[in-house]
Each structure stands twice: as C-alpha cells, then as structure tokens.
Amino acid sequence: MYIYDLNFDSSVLTGGLPKRFRKLKSDKKIKKFLVQRRGYKAPDFGRMILDLRNLGWSHEKISYVLDASSSAVSSWATGSIPNYEHGDAFIELWREQTGINRIPRLGEWQSYKYEIGQLNLLK
C-alpha cells in the first residue's frame, strides 16, 4: 500500500516549470492582452459607408466591387460587422476613394473630424 503526500509537487522532478508557475505566466500574458484590448476601437463601417455614399457609391456598387451581397453592405451600415476578408477589402476601398490613411473608429466621431461625409454641423 502506497501513501501519497498530497502537498508534494511532482513537477519539480520532471524538469520544466511547475504547473502553478506556468499558469501564473499565462495569466500575465492574458492580463497584458486584456489591457491592450481596452484601447482598441473597431472601425466605424457605418461612417465609412456614409463617406462612400457621399462620393456617389451605392450599396449595390460597393457590394459588386467587394463581391458581397448588397444586403450585407446594408447591414454593415446599420451596425453589423463584416467578416475579415470583406472588412479588410472595404477598408482598402474606402482608403483608395477618400485618400485618407487614418481609419475612423467607433466612438471617436466627436474627437476626430474630416471633411468627407460630414454635415459640418460641429464646426
């Protein structure tokens, strides 16, 4: 009959870090990621669609160029988020048509202004 000491950490014998230290290390990485994520703001696709509309682009024309459905483009205008491929292609299209390198982000409509797509009410 064997008697096991439950307070003994067997990972000391196997080489590597004990489990509790590996978990602590991964918790630090998770915390760093969460801190960085706090400052991230998603692109404002609704505002970008408004800008392209003011340049003469329709939802159908945008959907044709991006190879997406026009209902998908309409849903982006109302707040849904496109998948990565369509979103990346849409951002490139918006940059090319507007000539602006900075992407408009959600929640910054009062802090950052540009002329395309604005009604000039906040000047």
User: Phi, psi (5° rounding) for residue 9?
Assistant: -95, 105
**What does the pLDDT average to over 6-20?**
56
**What does the pLDDT average to over 91-116?**
80
What is the C-alpha separation between 62 and 21, in angstroms, rounded?
Answer: 51
What is the C-alpha separation between 6 and 123, in angstroms, rounded?
Answer: 70
Rg (CA), the chain: 25
Convert the pLDDT of each residue in 55-101 to its tens digit. 899 999 999 999 999 899 999 999 899 999 999 999 999 999 988 88
Q: Do the Cβ atoms of 98 and 51 come closer than 8 Å? A: yes
Position 90 scores a pLDDT of 95
